[in-house]
A and B are shown apart, each in its own frame.
Chain A
């Protein structure tokens, strides 16, 4: 894996992974090992949250396209090894929240993906990328739900 070429994006655009896409990965344990480590990595690397969320949905029966996606993430990490969140000393200390939802983005169960982020000063302090527990009938509903989830986070903050 050390011989992989670095790339600038962690995931192909407009590609949706589904559950039955080809041959099963020979060594499923290594897939789970790597994805497990990636989940640990998103504690500090917020740009990986979404893609790691996607590949971790296939832990049960990882297939070839899923394995390719994981390799893609690893190549992206190689490209951005020096990246980190930088908190500037001089920036004003204010909390701002951002929220968004991708309506019915998951091709398997058509549930929406929910994302939010809180910045304090210049850097992000709290973020999440998660599939919503219930499906939404409209994009307004999906985003309304994501606002409500953010509200819970605000109360906690």
Chain B
């Protein structure tokens, strides 16, 4: 297989995987819509108990991590391995910050007696943000592996498909949060 064909196959592969991810989150989004229509009061009261400042900060953190991944890919396309590693490191730092803030939020919710079995709003809140958090964790493992392999000189100007593919996954994780933030934190 010539390199261009191999790259296209990999791109189609990750987009297919992301399609399954859209539908995984799609099922939960569907339950969100149905129960929101059915119990608007519970959703209104629930969203007031979330810290939308922390939610907004985390949105900016995750958008920033998408930028650093994009810049990392731009760097390796020019063969700059050192710059790629720097940007990947920054991405991991931002991803860690996101999870740290999520941890603070969860702890705060638990201390106020808000658990996944509190009501339908918090069931969906913990399920959606928890599943998303697992994706952030998976992305960190993936990008960590790419960072490690970049250090071993695996990627160059002519070959960096794994960097691009992992980047697509990371942007998808950002995409999910772009919808989760207004749906959970902002809409009353």
A and B interact physically? no
Q: Which residues of A line the B interface, CB within 8 A? A: none
